[in-house]
């Protein structure tokens, strides 16, 4: 075979392989755009969506006279998360410093959330919300704390709670005994995520409202709880 014939033979082989590859790519594109398109779109949407729960507000415990013995209070805390080594040099930081007095912002990021202010006052919360909503370094988190009457004997009988998956559940005493009624039902939400798994502003959607727990009314008074041995309380 001469040099010219050899070159033409190699060219035919090359273009034949190129045509085969192009045909295979075309067939795959048609397949993905047709029978498999719905499946891949569904997979992509699933990866871009996050579903979460909203804890229900726990019910109160009342004595026979209707006085509140145990109740829940909601508080708001301000957190900051900066990449390691990053310095807080942004107009948002100046606005936050002016809004929250005596705030100590780290000189450089650590990559982990840092609590800046616990128990934000209502005025601080209202002023901060529009300031930090467009800066993902800041995050305002809510938490619910269980509050009980101050008498030690009554508190011992009323019991304690613990936090499981963001929800308060009864751990001892009457809190544990009537936990199923006090807990309520968590709500559900979904939100779209960007490629860094951050929430996309305006995409949050409530799917189901949380249902608050029941109030439990005891058939004894606070004064009785203050002197009655543990284990003798009854519910009406």
Q: Which of 74-83, 132-141, 176-185 has the lowest mean pLDDT?
A: 132-141
Res 102: pLDDT: 77
pLDDT band at 130 (very low <50, low <70, confident <90, very high): confident
pLDDT at 52 over 90: no
Q: In the predicted model, what is the mean pLDDT of the chain? A: 80
% of the chain residues with pLDDT over 70: 72
CA distance 159 to 143: 20
Count CA within 13 A, CB hemisphere, residue 83.
2
Digit-coded pLDDT (tens) for 65-86:
999 999 999 899 999 888 777 7
Distance, CA of 139 to CA of 115 (rounded, Å): 10
Tens digits of per-residue pLDDT, 5-50? 565 656 556 566 666 666 666 666 655 555 554 554 455 555 578 8
C-alpha 204/C-alpha 221 separation (Å) is: 44
The answer to whether the predicted template modeling score (pTM) of the entire model surpasses 0.85 is no
The whole-number pLDDT of residue 40 equals 45
* SS3 (DSSP) at 236: coil
Compute the average pLDDT of residues 158-182: 94
């Amino acid at each position: 075979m001469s040099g010219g014939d050899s070159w033409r033979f190699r060219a035919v082989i090359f273009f034949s392989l190129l045509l085969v590859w192009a045909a295979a790519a075309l067939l795959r594109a048609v397949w993905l755009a047709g029978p498999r398109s719905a499946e891949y779109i569904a997979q992509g949407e699933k990866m871009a969506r996050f579903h979460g729960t909203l804890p229900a507000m726990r019910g109160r415990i009342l004595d026979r006279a209707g006085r509140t013995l145990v109740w829940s209070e909601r508080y708001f805390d301000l957190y900051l998360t900066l990449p390691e080594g990053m310095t807080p040099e942004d107009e948002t930081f100046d606005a936050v410093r002016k809004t929250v007095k005596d705030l100590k912002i780290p000189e450089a990021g650590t990559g982990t959330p840092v609590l800046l202010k616990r128990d934000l006052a209502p005025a601080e919360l209202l002023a901060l919300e529009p300031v930090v909503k467009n800066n993902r370094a800041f995050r305002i988190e809510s938490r619910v704390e269980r509050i009980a009457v101050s008498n030690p004997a009554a508190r011992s009988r009323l019991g304690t709670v613990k936090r499981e998956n963001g929800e308060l559940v009864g751990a001892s005493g009457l809190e544990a005994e009537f936990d199923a009624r006090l807990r309520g039902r968590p709500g559900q939400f979904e939100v779209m995520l960007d490629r860094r798994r951050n929430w996309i502003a305006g995409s949050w959607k409530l799917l189901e409202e949380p249902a608050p727990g029941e109030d439990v009314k005891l058939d004894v008074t606070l004064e009785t709880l203050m002197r009655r041995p543990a284990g003798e309380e009854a519910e009406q």
